[in-house]
Amino acid sequence: MIICVMRDTNLLAICEYRFFAKIYVMPERITAAGGIVENEDGKILFQYRRGKWDLPKGKLEEGETIEECAVREVEEETGLRNIILGELVGITHHFYTEKQKEIDKETYWYAMKANGEQQLVPQLQEDILELRWIHENELQEYLSDTYPNIIEIVEKYFDSDNQIN
């Protein structure tokens, strides 16, 4: 513990600021977007990536809107085309450390619809090993092997009117 004893209150404030600045570093914010994609049978698309079931999403690129990012990332990671973009379901935050930097990944999640019989193509360069359409009554099995923010947004999706009919 550092104790600063000074008569000038400005110097004390600087000393306290420097002490706390070493303890807490604001995380870098990364903005991402993705989708809860539903097919014509009412099933939700999950992907198996890095040992967990997840939803398709990715980082916002310079010059694109958050909605464009969501559709692009879903298409890139799944091979789906002509996705219908629905309402914003919610925003989640995922905190992690990468290359010794604290990261706050803020992800915007949209309801999406995939029409017709489309071939699923996992994006292997993003470590996506499998894509699977999941019926609502099968969700618990997949949610037991996923991240807390995925559980949060899937529950919000099914509890709301954000689905595309």
Instruction: Give dist(CA 71, CA 121) in Å, integer.
Output: 15
Largest CA distance in the chain: 75
Q: Give the burial string for 50-69 (b: 16+ CB within 10 Å, else e).
A: eeebbbbbbebeeeeebeeb
Task: Report the SS3 class of residue 38.
Answer: strand
Q: Which residues of the chain have pLDDT under 70?
A: 1-24, 161-165
pTM: 0.80
Question: If you ran DSSP here, which 8-state letter would residue 79 be given?
Answer: -
The predicted-structure confidence for 12-43, as pLDDT tens digits, reads as follows: 444 454 445 455 678 889 999 999 999 999 99
